[in-house]
Chains A and B, each alone.
Chain A
Amino acid sequence: MTKSPASVEFRSVTKRYGSVTAVDDISFTIEPGSLVTLLGPSGCGKTTTLRLIAGLEMASSGRILIGGKDVTRLSAAERDVSMVFQSYALFPHLSVLENVAYGPTVQGLPKHRAREMALEKLALVGLQGLERRSPSELSGGQQQRVAVARALVLEPQVLLFDEPLSNLDAKLRRRVRDDIRELQKRLNLTVAYVTHDQEEALAVSDRIIVMSDGRIAQSGTPRQLYEEPANLFVADFIGDANLVDGVVVEERGERALVRIDGITIEVPRRGAGLGPVRLAVRPTAVLLQRTGPGRQAVEGRIAKAAYLGKHAEYLVASPMGELFAIDRADGPLLEEGAPVWISLADREVAIVPSAEG
């Protein structure tokens, strides 16, 4: 690649449609050469944010910088950004080669040069020999790679992906996901990636920006989001969490002793003082035993059980409320209605700061 990757910076960007605010005063920076995921439920503003980067939507207020240059008022055609669309958006009246060569062609490059560039990028995504086909003659995965090649052909400063895996079947998803990540690392691209699938986000990202109701709920590395959710929304959205009430009974420097219905565990304090707190308990942190009440256990009852091969999932009725638990299933399956003893692991339980929620 001849160009170096560029950063993307949002400064207090707001996008309104009439009275609806789709993106509400958000600021963030995507470092050059990193892959950042915009994650959130549908309608949270993540796709709008992506389209704001592309220039397909214009910000109502705020500033957008790409590579340090203000592009807020520039149209999509004037920005050095390419996008891979959810539907791939391959031009059905053009062949694969013509599709990929479209960018250089409309830039006014000579035909043979456009063709060379297109062939080079088609080789990069492993589609040699298919360039004369029509897009409709390719499989879904191949179409997706054409879309990637087309987006890469102008060697953009920033590459955008809008839910690129949503039209692929489950098995293919994992492979394409890895391919995208590998390509991004190999070519050292700045990538913004939109998805609603938290597992996908955790797998590919350098950083994740979790969005909710047009605002940024939290941004950070996948690990930070999982282990230290900033609020209830993030805790719940990333990796399923049981939200339970507890009381901080003792501060121990960076850690705190928390009592949850007769169970006392030590967790990172995260700024919480003495008194009631909310905690996010990951399903794998809910430990189920059918025998012998330990000191740190409360009694519950299996409400639902599902066997899934690698593990078993349970819904447990307990004094803490209904808990969702994942058991490694090395023992026999617990049956619905069976009484169990519930204890909590020290890890994978996090205090959720209360102020925002």
Chain B
Amino acid sequence: MTPSGRAWLLLGLIGYAILPWHLADLAPLANRYPAGEAGSGLGRALFGGAWWLLPIAAGLAVATVPVVARLDRDKAAAWLVAGGGFGLALLVVQGFVIGHNGWTTAWLAAWFGAPGPRQGGLGFGAALTALALLMLLCQGLADRGWCRGDAFVVSAIGLVVALIGLFVFFPVLRILVSAFQDNAGQFSFSEFAAKVLDRSIWGLDCLTSSLRCGVAWNTLFLAVLVGVGTTALGLAFALIATRTGFRYKGALRVLTVLPIITPPFVIGLALILLFGRSGALSALLYEWFDIPRSRWIYGLPGVLIAQLLAFTPIAFLVLIGVVQGISPSLEEASQTLRASRWTTFRTVSLPLMRPGLANAFLLGFVESMADFGNPLVLGGNFEVLSTKIFFAVVGAAHDQGRAAVLSLVLLGFTLAAFWVQYAWLGKRVYTTVTGKGDSGLLLPLPRRVAWLCYATAIPWAVFTFVVYAVILVGGFVRSMGRDYTPTLEHFLTGFRIEAGRHGLFLSGSAWDSFIATLKVAAMAAPLTAVIGLLTAYLMSRQSFAGRRAFEFGTMLSFAIPGTVVGVSYILAFNVPPVEITGTAFILVMCFVFRNMPVAVRSGIATLSQIDKSLDEASLTLGARSFATVRRVILPLLRPAVVASLVYSFVRAMTAVSAVIFLVSAEYNMATTYIVGRVEAGEFGLAIAYSCVLIVVMLIAILMIQLLVGERRLGRRTAPAPVGNVAVQAAG
């Protein structure tokens, strides 16, 4: 057995025999250890009546045989596979079968008599044991020749599969299960059908009467509008940026960075400050033109404008790549065939952009569906699925089954959109960038197209800057729209530091959530990068059975809207065996698996530029996989490391949809705190806090760039593709 195998075995034994098996308060340890509540697996099994933990020892014992008997590699492998697999399976099964209130399934209770044995969630000991058993299993499989006998690769696959299974598939499965259950916990298809086809979801009353339409139609309608709008605006911006002599292209670039660092609901907040009943513009309109103040911004118009503002930059980023990618020689070819500029644009350029346009539309569509912050802040009576899910969970009804059903509908929409994108765009080849140099010049836009672009884009850009100006100014005046006296009052409320008897004291109301957010983001970012890039490495460099399913699993968490993730995490992790709601851990894991796909994508994109023969050269020079990853791949992967760190950090600071379900009193997040302030009408504090967040994120991005640095490739410099992050964020 290899040294690492022995180490894992040792850790497994420690986890089983010494560490507390269950999740328990460790404070008064004496009387509850080793056999009591805080006891180790072994202690509880032998002296604490938890007999079901004993067979796990058998798994560990089987895995110990090769060490004791000094078996050679081939023979040891079989023991490791058997011991690791058996122990792990038992551990998982007992965790799911025995819960807080005894048997978790009705037939077990009927068979063995209710209520049966009880136990809490798995703790450190169980987690370490499970990890060790998994690693022993992987070691055994590697010794049996899996993945060219590479233990590092097999272990990495095992680890990632286990994590994705636990934090992506398992919660989704729980949603499915609870959607099909009636209130008594019985499976009932008819009830599910009734819930899914409910009038409040699919009703079409708004067409025939003054009643409201179903929430699914609302969502769909909004998403289509946003998709079309962002695509059109994005195209206009992209064409201006690449095909005209527009002078302020730098400003357009700024536009692409803004959405990365703007919490999603901040735009909605700024719109309220501009157009709300006491908004700045509303006040002007009232005073100058006598237009009465109204609540028009709350509802479809407000949400639509906010989402257009928020997601147009994403469409721009997608489309600028597409527009730039069109080979100029294709257009020149068209012109030499005596087509006018307009004909060329219409018959060559535009059709070549078609996949990009479709892509941008789908991104806008999906983003709109998944958006939670803006509808929450601006929706008013206009309900969409994501907010409806939220209120089903936190509202008076507290109907998790209904939340699950709504989540399924929303998940169905987004998965369908992704499927369309994959099936339709994935197969079409519109290769416009070839390996050959292209010396052609980009064709300037036909005049009427150029004017159209200017007419759409410039007012919009001005509007965007006004919105951001509001965000900047709003924090520093007493009350937007009413009282423009400059003040630092809002910042003081949130971030006051007082000198108390024991030194400085953070008395501002925002400090708790601010520090919690920083902590969680700082933990989530490196984890996301590690797991994401490891997954990217496995997917692009290793071939193994089930790779497609693996790929699907990692991308699935991308397609799941945040609200759905939130609901599914509550359903999955509120009860044993993995009982982690209310902890910082669940927030971290939520962020890791929500943001991992971006790390995976940027990792794969960067890896695909790194020739595989580099790995192989390293291998033939005697470096094992791990050394190869460390010495060759990681240094070349720096841009992807930067991108995933930046993205996951920023996302962890700005996300609101999933975390709003998961925050606790102890771990409140900045975004949920701000949303709370908005709902309480404390706009000044909310906007001041948003400003602070944006500044912190900018600093963090700069620091990450500085710490990780650029990769060194001789003369050639490869800039970190930070711009791509936003595209991937949306994709």
Residue ranges of A at the interface with B (Cβ–Cβ < 8 Å): 54-56, 58, 73-77, 79, 81-83, 85-87, 89-93, 102-103, 106-107, 133-137, 150-151, 154, 160
Contacts and interface: CB of A to CB of B under 8 A. Distances in A.
Given A89-B613, A134-B713, A56 B632 contact: no
B715 to A, nearest CB: 6
B715 A106 contact: no
A89 B611 contact: yes
Give the 10 A-B CB pairs with smallest separation, nearest first: A134-B714, A89-B613, A136-B714, A89-B617, A103-B621, A76-B619, A106-B623, A85-B613, A83-B620, A93-B635
Contacts of A103: 621-622
Nearest to B150: A75
Contacts of B617: 83, 85, 89-91, 150
B501 interface: no
A175 B332 CA distance: 43
Interface of B: 145, 148-150, 611, 613-614, 616-624, 627, 631-632, 635-636, 711-716
Contact of B714 (A75, A135, A151): A135
B248 to A, nearest CB: 36
Nearest to A107: B622
B623 A77 contact: yes
> Which of B617, B624, B635, B714: most chain A Cβ within 10 A?
B617
15 contacts: A54-B620, A56-B619, A58-B149, A73-B145, A79-B620, A83-B617, A91-B614, A91-B632, A93-B632, A93-B711, A106-B627, A134-B713, A136-B714, A136-B716, A151-B620
B714 A102 contact: no
Given A93-B635, A93-B713, A106-B631, A75 B624 contact: yes
Contacts of B623: 77, 102, 106
Contacts of B150: 75
Contacts of B613: 85-87, 89
Contacts of A93: 632, 635-636, 711-713
B621 A150 contact: yes
Please report whether the interface of chain A is mostly helix, strand, loop or mixed according to DSSP.
Answer: loop
Contacts of B716: 92, 136
Contacts of A134: 712-715
B43 to A, nearest CB: 42
Nearest to B636: A93
B714 A92 contact: yes
B635 A102 contact: no
Nearest to A160: B620
B714 A89 contact: no
Nearest to A92: B713
Contacts of A73: 145, 149
A120 B487 CA distance: 72
A154 B148 contact: no
A192 to B, nearest CB: 13
Given A56-B620, A93-B636, A87 B611 contact: yes
B402 to A, nearest CB: 47
A104 B632 CA distance: 15
A75 B624 CA distance: 9
B622 A77 contact: yes
Contacts of B631: 102, 106
A77 B619 CA distance: 5
A133 B715 CA distance: 10
Contacts of B148: 55, 58, 75
B620 A81 contact: yes
B636 A92 contact: yes
A146 to B, nearest CB: 11
A56 B715 contact: no
A58 B145 contact: yes
A102 B615 CA distance: 12
Contact of B621 (A58, A86, A106, A136): A106
Nearest to B714: A134
Nearest to A57: B148
Nearest to B713: A92
Given A91-B617, A137-B714, 16 more contacts: A55-B619, A58-B148, A75-B149, A77-B624, A87-B611, A93-B632, A93-B635, A93-B711, A102-B618, A106-B618, A106-B621, A106-B622, A135-B714, A136-B713, A150-B621, A151-B621
Nearest to B635: A93
A138 to B, nearest CB: 9
Contacts of B712: 93, 134
A154 B622 contact: yes
Nearest to A147: B617
Given A91-B614, A93-B635, A82 B711 contact: no
Contacts of B611: 87, 89
Contacts of A85: 613, 616-617
Contacts of B632: 91, 93
Contact of A82 (B149, B620, B635, B713): B620
> Which of A54, A58, A75, A150: most chain B Cβ within 10 A?
A75
A26 B624 CA distance: 28
Contacts of B622: 77, 103, 106-107, 154
A136 B619 CA distance: 22
A86 B623 CA distance: 20
A134 to B, nearest CB: 3
B623 to A, nearest CB: 4
A345 to B, nearest CB: 45
Contacts of B619: 55-56, 75-77
Contacts of B618: 91, 102, 106
A77 to B, nearest CB: 5
B542 to A, nearest CB: 13
A163 to B, nearest CB: 12
A227 B613 CA distance: 37
A193 B73 CA distance: 33
Nearest to A93: B635
Contacts of A90: 617
A191 B565 CA distance: 57
A135 B631 CA distance: 17
Contacts of A107: 622
Nearest to B630: A106
A76 B636 contact: no
A5 to B, nearest CB: 17
A92 to B, nearest CB: 5
Nearest to B619: A76
A265 B240 CA distance: 78
A154 B619 CA distance: 13
A154 B621 contact: yes
Contacts of A76: 616, 619-620
B606 to A, nearest CB: 13
Contacts of B714: 92, 133-137
B715 A136 contact: yes
Contacts of B636: 92-93
Contacts of B616: 54, 56, 76, 83, 85, 89
A150 B150 CA distance: 24
> Which of A77, A79, A107: most chain B Cβ within 10 A?
A77
Contacts of A160: 620
Contacts of A55: 148, 619-620
Nearest to A138: B714
Contacts of A92: 636, 713-714, 716
Contacts of B715: 134, 136-137
A11 B483 CA distance: 89
A158 to B, nearest CB: 10
> Which of A75, A76, A106, A151: most chain B Cβ within 10 A?
A76
A87 B610 CA distance: 12
A82 B624 contact: no
Nearest to A156: B620
Nearest to B718: A92
A102 B618 CA distance: 8
> Which of A58, A83, A93: most chain B Cβ within 10 A?
A93
A91 B635 CA distance: 10
Nearest to B611: A87
A171 B150 CA distance: 42
A131 to B, nearest CB: 14
